[in-house]
A and B are shown apart, each in its own frame.
Chain A
Amino acid sequence: MDYENAEKILEVKHLKQYFNVGKSDEVHAVDDISFDIYKGETFGLVGESGSGKTTTGRAIIHLYEPTSGEILFDGKNVDSFTSKQEKRDFRQEMQMIFQDPYASLNPRMKVKDIVAEGIDINHLAKDDDDRTKQVEDLLETVGLNKDHSSRYPHEFSGGQRQRIGIARALAVRPKFVIADEPISALDVSIQAQVVNLMKKLQREQGLTYLFIAHDLSMVKYISDRIGVMHYGRMLEIADSDEIYAHPLHDYTKSLLSAVPVPDPEFERARQEIAYDGGQENDGKERHLVEIAPRHWVRAADDEIDMYTQRAHEASLIHD
């Protein structure tokens, strides 16, 4: 990725997403996060369950009304779309691939109708023949057979269903795709197939991905940059190679140290790093600071020196 001349496709500014506001069980699912995504890149969002990564994805595609903050897509505020046409255009440009390939496909619709639903709504096909042709092309693109188009979802395996989900997302020719744990429900050998397919489609169609996952090794493999979330906050953002090689935040270190590695020698020597979440809630004002070039860490004013020191030790900063 060439970030010098990269254009922003998505800007998230101070997004807050609270639930049950004003009640005793108010939840701050996403608490003041800001980040940008550039055209053509894959931004990985990682974190444990409850960290707010899925809520962030859903807020971006406007399934929720944000509590406060702004989401700019191609420079336009997602919240400002009022007319039907604007909303439809937005949904055409931004699509989602869901986690569970069993729950996200309507069991009573044929594959061709599932894939073509977006084509129909957005009037992207000239006539029936064109519609059929588009569906068949899409199925071929994702590695399915065109004979599959008149079958029902239950006739497919998990990996094939996820391919149908991808074909459906691509049918409306989106620019931006949010993939929320798209491979977690799949077997290892099939995961690799789906990830390779997503990468191929990105190259061919210039797609931008927001890839949400908890499987850290797969996220690193597919992402250009990665954001680490915890307790609804963004703790660290950096290029994926750098964040894995030189994590600066304690939480990122702890998260990475817990990833099981398929190497017995490594596993026997493993040292897990414990993380005390309490240190985030000491009342200090914290925000993302660019500690090293394009490496952001959530820090209080008096912690910046410590992180800068760490970055020096990892030779991320040269002077």
Chain B
Amino acid sequence: MDNENNILEVRNLQVNFKTYAGDVKAIRNVSFDLRKGETLAIVGESGSGKSVTTRTIMGLNASNADIASGSIMYKDQDLLKKSEKEMEGIRGQDIAEIFQDPMTSLDPTMKIGRQIAEPLMVHKGMKKDKAWAQALEMMKLVGITDAESRINDYPHQFSGGMRQRIVIAIALINYPEILIADEPTTALDVTIQAQILNLMKELQDKISTSIIFITHDLGVVAGMADRVAVMYAGKIVEYGTVDEIFYNPKHPYTWGLLSSMPTLDSSGDELPSIPGTPPDLLDPPTGDAFAARNAYALKIDTEQEPPFFKVSDTHYAATWLLHPDAPKVTPPAQIVERQEKYAKMQQALAQAKQTTGPVEEEEEQQ
């Protein structure tokens, strides 16, 4: 491991899918870290490779997937070198996943008590009685009311929100080090979504797990994430802390994503939108894959792929606009507003430090 604060390190990952039409280059050289206890959000459109990334971590890719290169280090072991048998020991024990659709991720013919207890019996060899007792505790923890009687119910007897709570209980019963949540609230109503997100935050504190949160909903990201990675066409194009990505984004794709989402106080006739559609990954374009849809594209974007440019110690973006020789451009109005807000926040923070600084020193002296 490069850094002892990391629980997971993904390096230079490339995944291709073999199809009749040729190789689909789904993941094109992706690297990222997951720190202990943090929530890392991966955002992007469908087909950007966010789900393939997590499925590769879990070892759950379809049989036509070919991992062309890379490593996924977890506790000094490379998950990509593990056998299927070894991965079975890790899934549901060290790394667990919450899937998008609570309607299809539960077994309709199995009592929910057994479904929640199963990981304990499989991974820890626990006896049924003890496992069910723990399952009951977990049900209470995730907020299923009247757990004693409901433990013998079947999934169809629960609402969508309750089912997602059950899925969370199954994922967390072994206190995994890493929880992967792939669009866990997309199928739910906003009010239920708010409950589930609060529950996830609460449980993260309680069992100190690290979360990889996959979603296309930037509103959810703003509330959940510590750090954000933006994916486009099989690559990470920008990553940083949640504040850096939302208030000081540098990549034109991030600009487009942020401005095409109406906020509750946006109005006007035309919603800024990203023109066109994502590229075909059977034959990815040379240079910056976003260039064709990018109003800010430079000539070099169609010729050469941009490397990551450093914005701050925690914030990197792969766009030629950050090159010292690049022309200065003005981002869309919405983004400028966000940057202004960020500047004010930074200022306020600096002022707060100045005023509270001496006070702290005095306390230390006492």
Contact = CB atoms under 8 A, between A and B. Distances in A.
Nearest to A251: B191
B260 to A, nearest CB: 4
B190 A159 contact: no
Interface string A154-169: 0001111000000000
Q: How large is the interface on B (under 10, 10 to 19, 20 to 34, 35 or more residues)?
A: 35 or more
Contact of B258 (A49, A159, A258, A262): A262
A159 B260 contact: no
A192 B190 contact: no
Q: How large is the interface on A (under 10, 10 to 19, 20 to 34, 35 or more residues)?
A: 35 or more
A169 to B, nearest CB: 21
Interface in B166-216: 189-194, 197-198, 216
A216 interface: yes
Contacts of B269: 199
A199 B270 CA distance: 8
Interface string A240-280: 01001000000000111011111111111010100100000
Interface stretch (A57-65, A83-91, A118-126, A217-225): A217-225
B266 interface: yes
Contacts of B223: 260, 264, 267-268, 270
A261 B222 CA distance: 7
B216 A260 contact: no
B105 interface: no
B190 A214 contact: yes
Given A157-B277, A188-B218, A192-B273, A217 B190 contact: no
A266 B274 CA distance: 25
A255 B191 CA distance: 6
Contacts of A244: 264-265
Interface string A52-75: 000000000000000000000000
B219 A260 contact: yes
A272 B223 CA distance: 13
Contacts of B162: none
A49 B264 contact: no
A265 B219 CA distance: 11
Nearest to B186: A184
Nearest to B268: A221
Contacts of A258: 190-191, 193-194
Interface in B238-295: 242-243, 246-247, 256-258, 260-267, 269-275, 277
Contacts of B345: 265
A192 to B, nearest CB: 3
B263 A262 contact: yes
B273 A264 contact: no
Contacts of B266: 217, 221
Contacts of A241: 267
Nearest to B338: A263
A264 B246 contact: yes
Given A189-B45, A218-B262, A267 B222 contact: yes
Contacts of B277: 157, 159-160, 190
Contact of B216 (A160, A187, A265): A187
B267 A214 contact: no
B274 A264 contact: no
Given A188-B216, A266-B222, A48 B264 contact: no
A193 B260 CA distance: 9
Nearest to A185: B46
Nearest to B246: A264
Contact of A263 (B160, B257, B263): B263
A80 interface: no
A25 to B, nearest CB: 14
B264 A189 contact: no
A260 B193 contact: yes
Given A221-B267, A255-B190, 15 more contacts: A188-B216, A189-B45, A192-B274, A193-B275, A196-B270, A217-B261, A217-B263, A220-B264, A221-B271, A244-B264, A258-B190, A261-B222, A261-B264, A263-B222, A263-B263
16 contacts: A48-B190, A159-B277, A188-B261, A189-B257, A192-B272, A192-B274, A195-B271, A260-B197, A260-B223, A262-B222, A264-B242, A264-B246, A264-B247, A266-B222, A270-B223, A275-B191
Interface of B: 45-46, 160, 189-194, 197-198, 216-223, 242-243, 246-247, 256-258, 260-267, 269-275, 277, 341, 345
